[in-house]
């Protein structure tokens, strides 16, 4: 009897210990959930903008470059541009099939002017953020991994004149197509240390001021989120809104970290430049990439697209998905599975990938 009684007491003690452990565990889980909810609420308070910060009143936009196989921008021996018919086909696919009505182009040269002409002549429901492509005015060979020697001074001087000509073309197009162009971007990743077309910050500020003085549209500069967070305060005063590029997959992140890292990047800029309206002018997920291995796939692109676009809509952030179509002229010529070639919602031969298949199905 004594043994049985002792055994019963031990069981009761075990039950009591287990119950207390469960209670503490539940309390810890509750505290953790409350902390996570508090952090999420705080993050949203930082991220959320007024609806007036949206470009054209929309959060949904896309980067467009229509170069198909065998076509490319000028790489020293002249450009091979898409035709009028090919451009019209692309723009109808984006606007009529996929409901993208705001696109970004990267320069003010012949191909971009054709895009504007096609939109105008066919009365397409599309607005455009026009680009001003700036070439190197500084030799960035010490920090750009693929510049193996300094850019000659004579070439830098020539680039300065080419940049001024590009600015003048953009100003003319902004007036000619004033009902289509809603913003102009001065320079694309021309400020970060790792690029091969670097321009001094003070020079870009002077270009921004010149363009703002001569056109009615909003003016911005597009660059990596980290540059804006660390160095962008003065430039932010000159532009009408700040334009960020965010790529979690390039920074080693897996898909389940994609959105949280995007929000972290965005909020880093928001805290550094608290009063500036912000747009995300590039964000995407590659579908094939030897650089990323299994982190790249069509399924992962679809997950990131949904998460990013839903968050952008909730936070009133215009977000340009990168990009509409794969471009096989990019990156190393013989490396067909390199990341640079595979960011599109469509393949280079205009076949919809999984993300676009979902978007088309949802529309229908």
Q: Where are the domains of the chain?
A: 55-363
- Token pair for 202: 């003070």
CA distance 186 to 200: 13
Stated pTM of the model? 0.89
Output the average pLDDT for the chain: 91
Strand-strand pairing, 319-321 and 278-283: parallel
| Farthest-apart Cα atoms in the chain, separation | 103
| CATH architecture assigned to 55-363 | Alpha-Beta Barrel (3.20)
Tens digit of each residue's pLDDT (9 = 90 or more) over 128-147: 999 999 999 998 888 878 88
Tens digit of each residue's pLDDT (9 = 90 or more) over 267-298: 999 999 999 999 999 999 999 999 999 999 99
Taking residues 224-236, what's their average pLDDT? 98
CA distance 268 to 309: 19
Taking residues 99-127, what's their average pLDDT? 98
pLDDT reading at 321 higher than 90: yes
User: What is the number of other CB atoms lying within 10 angstroms of the CB of residue 134?
Assistant: 26
- Token pair for 108: 């003010």
Contacts of 233 (CB under 8 A, 6+ apart): 272, 273
pLDDT reading at 24 higher than 70: no
Taking residues 202-230, what's their average pLDDT? 98
Tens digit of each residue's pLDDT (9 = 90 or more) over 30-89: 665 555 445 556 678 889 999 999 999 999 999 999 999 999 998 677 899 999 999 999
CA 16: distance to chain centroid?
A: 55
User: Is residue 12 very low, low, confident or very high in pLDDT (cuts 50, 70, 90)?
Assistant: low
> pLDDT higher for 193 or 147?
193
pLDDT confidence of residue 197:
87
Among 19-23, 177-181, 281-285, 304-308, which stretch is predicted with the lowest mean pLDDT? 19-23
User: What is the number of other CB atoms lying within 10 angstroms of the CB of residue 136?
Assistant: 21
- Nearest Cα neighbor of 216 from 177, 163, 162, 245 is 177
- Nearest Cα neighbor of 127 from 206, 49, 192, 182 is 182
- Nearest Cα neighbor of 84 from 70, 66, 69, 100 is 66
Give the position of tokens 């090919």: 86
CA distance 117 to 84: 9
Residue % of the chain over a pLDDT of 70: 88
CA distance 100 to 55: 13
CA distance 64 to 258: 23
pLDDT confidence of residue 80:
96
pLDDT reading at 355 higher than 90: yes
């Amino acid at each position: 009897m004594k043994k049985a009684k002792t055994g019963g007491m031990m069981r009761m003690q075990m039950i009591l210990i287990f119950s207390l452990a469960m209670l503490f565990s539940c309390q810890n889980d509750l505290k953790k959930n409350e902390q996570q909810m508090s952090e999420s609420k705080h993050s949203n308070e930082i991220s959320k903008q007024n609806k007036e910060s949206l470009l054209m009143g929309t959060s949904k936009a896309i980067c467009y470059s229509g170069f198909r196989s065998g076509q490319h921008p000028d790489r020293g021996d002249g450009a091979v541009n898409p035709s009028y018919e090919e451009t019209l086909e692309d723009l109808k696919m984006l606007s009529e099939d996929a409901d993208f009505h705001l696109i970004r182009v990267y320069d003010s040269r012949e191909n971009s002017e054709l895009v504007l002409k096609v939109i105008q002549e066919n009365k397409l429901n599309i607005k455009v953020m026009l680009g001003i492509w700036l070439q190197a005015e500084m030799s960035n060979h010490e920090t750009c991994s693929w510049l193996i020697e300094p850019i000659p001074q004579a070439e830098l001087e020539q680039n300065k004149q080419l940049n001024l000509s590009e600015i003048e073309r953009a100003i003319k197009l902004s007036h000619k197509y004033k009902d289509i162009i809603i913003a102009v971007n001065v320079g694309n990743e021309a400020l970060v240390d790792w690029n091969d077309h670097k321009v001094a910050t003070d020079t870009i500020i002077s270009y921004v001021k010149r363009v703002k003085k001569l056109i009615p549209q909003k003016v911005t500069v597009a660059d990596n989120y980290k540059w804006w967070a660390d160095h962008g305060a003065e430039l932010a005063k000159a532009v009408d809104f700040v334009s960020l590029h965010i790529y979690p997959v390039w920074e080693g992140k897996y898909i389940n970290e994609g959105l949280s890292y995007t929000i972290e990047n965005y909020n880093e800029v928001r805290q550094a430049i608290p009063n500036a309206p912000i747009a995300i002018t590039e964000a995407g997920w590659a579908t094939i990439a030897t650089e990323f291995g299994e982190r790249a796939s069509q399924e992962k692109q679809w997950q990131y697209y949904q998460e990013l676009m839903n968050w952008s809509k909730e936070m009133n952030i215009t977000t340009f998905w990168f990009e509409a179509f794969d471009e096989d002229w990019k990156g190393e010529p013989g490396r067909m599975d390199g990341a640079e070639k595979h960011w599109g919602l469509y393949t280079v031969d205009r076949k919809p990938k999984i993300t676009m298949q979902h978007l088309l199905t949802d529309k229908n």
